[in-house]
Amino acid sequence: MPNISKTELIKLQKSLKTDAAIGEKFGVTRQAIHQFRVKFGIPSNLVKNDERNAKIVELYKKGATGTEIAKKLNLSTSQTYRMINLAEKKTPAKKKK
């Protein structure tokens, strides 16, 4: 098991983003890094996804294309459209009278 400090783990999480990528750097599993995060009380980067997804939908509704949003948020175009489509499915359709 690698000896990772809380500060180092926070820095790695900002640069490498995922537990899997951090684990690969140290030659351990994603689960091992997850256990370190839990031990140190560090939230997952996934917590920020809802915020990001809301921003994607907001930009799209304002007229930005999926490609423009993807470039701005450093995502793939397909991932951007997936979030837009998911948000549209969650929004109940208005009933016609």
Q: Sketch the domain layout of the chain as residue ranges.
A: 6-43, 48-90
pLDDT of residue 87: 85
Quick one: fold of 48-90?
A: Arc Repressor Mutant, subunit A (1.10.10)
Asked if residue 97 has pLDDT above 60, the reply is no
For residues 18 and 63, which has the higher predicted lDDT (pLDDT)? 63
Q: Is-above-0.75 flag for pTM?
A: no
pLDDT of residue 43: 87
Choose the weakest-confidence range: 19-28, 44-53, 57-66.
44-53
Residue 42 Ramachandran class (φ > 0 left, ψ -120 to 50 alpha, else beta): beta
Residue pair 13/22 in contact (Cβ under 8 Å)? The answer is yes
Looking at every residue in the chain, the average pLDDT score rounds to 87
